[in-house]
Amino acid sequence: MRFGTFALLFAGALFAAPPLTTIQDTIYKADGTPFNGLALVAWRSFSASDQSNVDAQSVTVQIDNGHLWVQLVPTTTAGAGAYYAVVYNSDGRVQFRETWAVPPSTTALKLKDVRIVASSSGSSGSPPADTNPTGTPIPESDVTGLTGDLAARPVKAPTYLPSSVAFINAAGSLDAVAGSPSDCVHADGSTGPCGSTGPGFADGETPAGVVDGSNASFTLANVPSPSASLSIYRNGVLDRNGLDYSVSGAGVVFAAGAVPDPGDVLQAFYRTAAPSGVTGGVPQIVCSGAGASTFSASLTQIGSCTIPTNLLRAGDRFEIRFDYAHAGNTAGFTVQAGWSGTTLASQTAPASESIVTGRSDVAILTNGVQWNSQSWGASLSFAATAGNASFNANLPAVVELFGQMAGSTSETIALTNFTVLRYPGQ
């Protein structure tokens, strides 16, 4: 019997909860009214004074009519770095924050007994509210909701640029729109001249034809679309379409009795349709400029152009033009153009060669690219090649231009000019 009693007492000791301190107080607003809301009390893992392990967690305390009551494990006698971070919430938003250091006590304590007052110099040894007293990084998983919020936010793509119009690419990342400053941005992130495929307007146009009192046929510079949009003024007076004249295509025929007399001034106003056959955009310059130079005996990138994913659609075509100049006449050199790791053109020139120029075309397919290249020099033989390559249109494409000198030398090969043009598909 005595052994059984001892075993029960021992088991009870093993499962005894750590001691608690009661914090009880009344909170008021600055206008003297009682505070109503919530207090979120959070803490990181620590060891209590009785060696009990207290896991990282939080508790929400209801504050009604100003009355606050909560029981917590003391932190002043616990392991180093133990404290409570408290956030007061009322009227749907955070009102204020503070940090508590809770001592052991058999009687209820007031807030003034547990609050840590932050020191402006930081020399008090007590952490101010919203700080980490141990100085160690706080894992993202310890911050409620942070991991989910970070996963939900868009991230920057490799080609994201400041001071540019942004769009969401196929990977869900923020990318930069490429184009000229005067271009308009389309819904898919591509660009083109504003109004390039919309209707046009002719204002005050003089129809072609002899004004001699007998000639009734005149020709407009464009076909009115619709034909009813045409208005012809004679000496500032509006003629009537269908009565004073008739329209057929770009031709205007005046009715008998309405033929313009010598000295009459004719002015035509009308709308025109979008250019016939225009289904895609107009060519646009993606990158252009001068590159760098190198005297390295290894292949060195001296120019590049990153093409955003919104410009890589099946049916699009890219034209890459490049010009190199060799300074010196004692060492040979090599130039090379590439597309995202695929070599498009490569020429090795003798020491006597002064320039190399060339162009490469890259056609975007639904499952890769097809390319062709031409290159030549002042005396260097013309070279042409073509091929296919796999390509992930969900990633930006990179046009790479390289140079290399033959052996150790002070002579250089320079990329003097390069241009990347895009021809949008349908």
pLDDT score recorded for residue 156: 82
Residue scoring higher pLDDT (122 or 71): 71
Q: How many CA atoms lie within 13 A of 354 on its CB side?
A: 1
CB 24 within 8 A of CB 68: yes
Tokens 């020099």 correspond to what residue? 377
CATH code of 2-114, in short, is 2.60.40
29 pLDDT higher than 70: yes
Query: For 108-120, what is the mean pLDDT?
Result: 80
Share of the chain above pLDDT 70, in %: 85
Can you tell me the distance from the alpha carbon of 420 to that of 398, in angstroms, rounded to the nearest whole number? 11
Cβ-Cβ contacts under 8 Å for 194 (sequence gap 6 or more): 182, 183, 184
Residues contacting residue 88 through CB under 8 Å, at least 6 positions apart: 27, 35, 37, 38, 39, 63, 94, 95, 96, 97, 98
Kindly indicate the confidence band of residue 134, based on its pLDDT and cuts at 50, 70 and 90.
very low
Of residues 39 and 5, more confidently modeled: 39
Maximum C-alpha span of the chain:
137
Rounded CA-CA distance 157/360 in Å is: 26
* 214/207 Cα distance (integer angstroms): 16
Q: So what's the pLDDT on residue 122?
A: 40
Please report the pLDDT score of residue 195 as a whole number. 54
Q: Are strands 251-254 and 237-238 parallel, antiparallel or unpaired?
A: unpaired
Considering only 61-75, 138-152, 233-247, which range has the smallest mean pLDDT? 138-152
Q: What is the mean pLDDT of the segment spanning 376-391? A: 91
Instruction: Name the residue ranges covered by the structural domains of the chain.
Output: 2-114, 200-272, 284-423
Q: For the segment 182-219, what is each residue's pLDDT rounded down to a tens digit?
A: 677 777 777 766 654 555 778 889 999 999 999 999 99
Please give the Cα distance from 344 to 401 (Å, whole number).
10
Tell me: pLDDT of 415 over 80.
yes
Q: If residue 152 lies in a helix (H) or strand (E), which one and from where to where? A: helix 146-152
Bridge partners (DSSP) listed for residue 234: 237, 266
Mean pLDDT of 236-242: 92
Predicted confidence band of residue 282 (pLDDT cuts 50, 70, 90): low
Instruction: Classify 111 as helix, strand or coil.
Output: helix
Q: What is the mean pLDDT of residues 233-256?
A: 93
Task: Work out the average pLDDT over 7-19.
Answer: 57
Specify the range with the lowest mean pLDDT, choosing from 130-134, 175-179, 288-292. Answer: 130-134
pLDDT in tens, 270-279: 887 755 444 4
pLDDT at residue 119 in the model:
41
What value, to the nearest 5°, has the Cα angle with vertex 352 and ends 349 and 355? 60
Question: 284-423 has which fold?
Answer: Jelly Rolls (2.60.120)
Q: Is 116 left (phi over 0), alpha (psi -120 to 50) or beta?
A: beta
**pLDDT value for 259:** 95
Tokens of 19: 């001691």
| 3-state DSSP of 194-209 | CCCCCCEEEEEECCEC
